[in-house]
Amino acid sequence: MSVILGLATMNNSAAALFVDGKLVAAVEEERLTRVKNDGAFPHHAIAEVLRIGGLKFSDVNEVAVYWQPWRMVGRGVGTVRKILQSPSAAKSVTTRIGTLFSSDTGGETPQDSGWMDLFRVRKILTAEHGPCDFKLHYINHHLTHQLYAEAMRDWDSFVSLSYDGGGEESSTIVTTVRNGKRESIADHRWPNSLGHFYSAFTGFLGFKMLEGEYKMMGLAPYGKPIYRDAILKEVLLLEDNGGYRVNTTLCDYHSALRGVFHPRLEELFGEARTPGSAPNERHIDLAASVQAAFEDALHHILGPVRKANPDLRKLVISGGCALNVTANGTLISDDLFDEIIIPPAPHDAGCAVGAALACIPHDRVDLASVRSPYQGAEWDTASISMALNDCCAQPQMALAETQLIDQVSDLLAAGKIIAWFQGRAEFGPRALGTRSFLADPRQDSIRDDINAKIKKREHFRPFAPSVAEEAASDFFEIDQSSPYMNIVARVRDERAADIPAITHTDQTARVHTVSQSANPLYHALLTKFGEKTGVPVLLNTSFNIQEPIVYSPLNACATFAASGVDALVIGDFVVLREALKEESPSKAVA
């Protein structure tokens, strides 16, 4: 038996378990510790994937890590260059160098695992999980991103883009693949990083970096990109042949983490926004401008690749920047590529899967298992009943599937908001129909209700739709599937009035297409809701309140009790709010 454990150990740390080429489980550390974006060494995730697989740590044959730490020379050169170019950056850079040698603060947040832990993986694992004779592999960071993403489709030839804050030495990699043969086309070296460019402006606009980027992206459509030219002239410089350069003197990512910004930025764009204050028109226009400049850079990088390879009309995107769903959508709407695919976890957590894939011959990989986003735990009726007994005043009655779907679709059609907990937990940052809050997209006012009473988030952030795959093109200008909710598409003019709650201010939506084969129960709910309303679409947002997405029945019951949601649908049970005990349960760790 071949047992391979894949690890991402910093920044959204995670573990993935393959047994004889099949992905058995993949879990992010945050789901278990309940610490958002937890970057600690993924001990909880390791224990969980082994539990799901019914294995012990001593059964593991190979461990694959998503980084080659000895290849950090390029980062070191870039760091020295930053200090020489910008003396004001010296303090932040010196602090950063100190974290390289720390065992518990090497990432961007205090709970992150340290860079030096990458050299101590065997010792750390055996100290925590017991003795094990395993072969240890260190895999190139961007390659782990790409291998996971490329496994999503049976394409023989395509372009593969990986871009994020940065890997060992590179921040953006473009590769072509023809009949299994890989060729490196472009390699953009750190600190010229589109991820760090976007994150630095996230901080300038008063949002939490490495978390609030999606807030800036949601704010952008409300503004006008009046600062785009200034950004492209002084901050993000587009060079010949698809190259780009970030002016790190003005746009210093590590200084931005400390809330320190170059005076020239305020000369160009006004004062940085104070966190927690309401965005003004200038802030909104700057968000629009940063997004526009980011999209310009993305097209600038890929344009020459397409021109030189006219036969390659399919694109695979990976890395943290692949979560910029608005930019993803422009690659199709602008006809640069015919079809694109992004995996369910394109950020660093997904590298745990990619690292393991690097150790398995391609013809021995169970691709169907890798393509499923449902990689976490599933709970049986007895476990769910036990959790419900703790939070409900009376025992709850289990329903047959047809009864459950009929009752839930009625509740949704009546304007009720549902907490939906079914099957295996999703892997990645998107709620894809197993850990979701659901609502009727026909009611525009329901967005404000969810924002104010449940999610407690900014009013300008859009909600995504789930749609039965066969009906997607009837409602959205999209001619491909979007199973992982990673593509923004325009809502059709004739349908916008039917689904206002998921239609953003620019008449777009982050589409999640649901097939019967991928998620039979959720597809049945969308279909039944469509039969009753004429709209096989539901507003779908993650089942959480300012925390990681719920993972266990205890998490679900506690978050339901703390929310204003009308009903919890968990396993075979439909629990109405009035069934709860007067005293809400505390939020428990899985």
pLDDT band at 108; cut points 50, 70, 90: very low
| Per-residue pLDDT at 511 exceeds 80 | yes
- Assess if residue 529 is contained within a domain: yes
Please indicate, yes or no, whether residues 213 and 137 belong to a single structural domain of this protein.
no
Torsion of CA 250, 252, 257, 259, to 10 degrees: -20
Residues 205 and 267 both lie in one domain: yes
**From the DSSP assignment, how many helices (H) and strands (E) are in the chain?**
21, 20
Residue 189: inside a domain:
no
Would you state the pLDDT for residue 110?
42
User: What band does 91 get if pLDDT is binned at 50, 70 and 90?
Assistant: low
Q: Are residues 202 and 286 in the same domain?
A: yes
Contact 487, 328 (CB under 8 A): yes
Predicted local confidence at residue 82, as pLDDT: 54
Residue range 308-349, pLDDT digits in tens? 999 999 999 999 999 999 999 999 999 999 999 999 999 999
Residue 245 lies in a domain: yes
For 68-95, what is the mean pLDDT?
61
Predicted confidence at residue 189, as pLDDT, reads: 96
- Do 326 and 359 fall within a single domain? no
DSSP SS3 for 245: strand
| Same domain, yes or no: 444 and 334 | no
220 and 271 both lie in a single domain: yes
Higher pLDDT, 378 or 461: 378
Q: How confident is the model at residue 94 (pLDDT cuts 50, 70, 90)?
A: low
User: Could you tell me if 449 and 497 lie in one domain?
Assistant: yes
Q: What is the pLDDT of residues 275-302, one digit of tens each?
A: 999 999 999 999 999 999 999 999 999 9
How big is the chain by its Cα radius of gyration, in Å? 23
Map 160-227 to HEC letters: EEEECCCCCCEEEEEEEEECCEEEEEEEEECCCCHHHHHHHHHHHCCCCCCCCHHHHHHHHHHCCCCC
Task: Provide the domain limits for residue 284.
Answer: 194-342
Mean pLDDT within 471-479: 97
> What is the C-alpha separation between 118 and 98, in angstroms, rounded?
16
Identify the weakest region by mean pLDDT among 63-72, 89-98, 221-230, 487-496: 89-98
CATH number at residue 109: 3.30.420.40
pLDDT band at 106 (very low <50, low <70, confident <90, very high): very low
DSSP calls for 116-177: GGGGGHHHHHHHHH-----EEEE--HHHHHHHHHHTTS--SEEEEEEESS--SSEEEEEEEE
24: amino acid identity, one letter:
V
Tell me what the mean pLDDT of segment 181-196 comes to. Answer: 96
Q: Which domain-ending residue is among 292, 323, 342? A: 342
Asked if residue 134 has pLDDT above 60, the reply is: yes
State the pLDDT at residue 449: 87
Q: What's the average model confidence in pLDDT over 394-402?
A: 96
Q: Is 178 a member of any domain? A: no
Q: pLDDT tens, 349-387?
A: 999 999 999 999 999 999 999 999 999 999 999 999 999
400 lies in the same domain as 356: no
How many domains does the chain fold into? Answer: 3
Q: Domain for residue 116, yes or no?
A: yes
The type of residue at 402 is T
221 and 366 together in one domain:
no
394 and 543, same domain (yes or no): yes
463 and 554 share one domain = yes
In percent, how much of the chain has pLDDT > 90?
Answer: 86
CATH number of the domain to which 472 belongs: 3.90.870.20
Same domain, 362 and 323: no
Q: What pLDDT sits at residue 313?
A: 96
pLDDT digits (tens, 9 = 90+) for 217-268: 999 999 999 999 999 999 999 999 999 999 999 999 999 999 999 999 999 9
pLDDT, tens digit, 9 for 90 and up, residues 23-38: 999 999 999 999 999 9
